[in-house]
């Protein structure tokens, strides 16, 4: 899924450089604010929601802040660890179930480069930035009888939170709808520097207004 999205958006962004340089609607605005909904994918597929604010510093260049929440980024090691503990509990208690999630809350800031095109309605772009992310390990167990604590003590590998640095890069196309509204077709890649490293891919759309 990742490769077709990256190819299409990268083609749209990079092909813009071949056209004559014409001021875009983004160049003529002071900035924008938008709400974002995305599909997040990697080891698992979930959803991501957030918002983005950008301010034009000169034609073709904006600074931005991107913040959001990814519902689940469960890694293979976290899922395997939870499954092993659940199997052990079930063997002792005569039955049990488990649930595992790893939500992430993040905020990044960076630079957005608007590529020149021959139609001011479209603004393909590249962007890169950095920030922080809070990664939460949300694992729960149930047993057929008694308390989970009677059978196991969950360690830090399956519980707790980490707040780590994050880098982000993206590509997309802003489509200006009239004089005020913008549709942002986008792909974002993020790397969170947790102990094992966490990659987050997000693809979706934002809808916002310029000011």
**C-alpha count within 13 angstroms, C-beta hemisphere, residue 135:** 25
Q: Tens place of pLDDT for every residue, the chain, 211 residues?
A: 445 444 444 444 444 444 334 455 555 679 999 999 999 998 899 999 999 999 999 989 999 999 999 999 999 999 998 888 888 888 887 777 889 999 999 999 999 999 987 767 888 999 999 999 999 999 888 887 767 767 777 777 788 899 999 999 999 999 989 889 999 999 999 999 998 899 999 999 999 999 8
Radius of gyration of the chain (CA): 21
Q: Is residue 61 within 8 Å of 90, Cβ to Cβ?
A: no
Complete domains list, the chain, with CATH = 2-198 (2.40.160.20)
Token couple for 126: 């590249």
pTM of the model: 0.81
Q: How far apart are the first and last CA of the chain?
A: 34
């Amino acid at each position: 899924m990742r490769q077709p999205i990256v190819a299409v958006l990268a083609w749209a962004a990079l092909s813009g450089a071949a056209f004559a340089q014409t001021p875009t609607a983004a160049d003529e605005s002071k900035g924008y604010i938008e709400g974002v909904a995305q599909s997040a994918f990697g080891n698992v597929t979930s959803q991501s929601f957030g918002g983005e604010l950008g301010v034009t510093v000169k034609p073709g260049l904006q600074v931005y802040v991107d913040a959001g929440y990814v519902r689940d980024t469960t890694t293979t090691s976290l899922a395997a660890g939870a499954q092993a503990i659940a199997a052990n509990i079930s063997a002792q208690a005569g039955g049990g179930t488990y649930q595992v999630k790893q939500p992430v809350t993040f905020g990044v800031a960076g630079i957005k480069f608007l590529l020149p095109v021959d139609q001011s309605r479209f603004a393909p772009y590249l962007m890169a930035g950095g920030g922080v992310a809070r990664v939460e390990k949300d694992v729960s167990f149930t047993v057929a009888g008694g308390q989970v604590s009677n059978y196991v003590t969950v360690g830090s590998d399956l519980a707790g939170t980490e707040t780590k640095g994050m880098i982000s890069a993206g590509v997309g196309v802003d489509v200006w709808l009239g004089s005020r509204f913008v549709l942002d077709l986008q792909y974002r890649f993020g790397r969170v520097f947790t102990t094992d490293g966490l990659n987050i891919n997000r693809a979706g759309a934002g809808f916002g207004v310029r000011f």
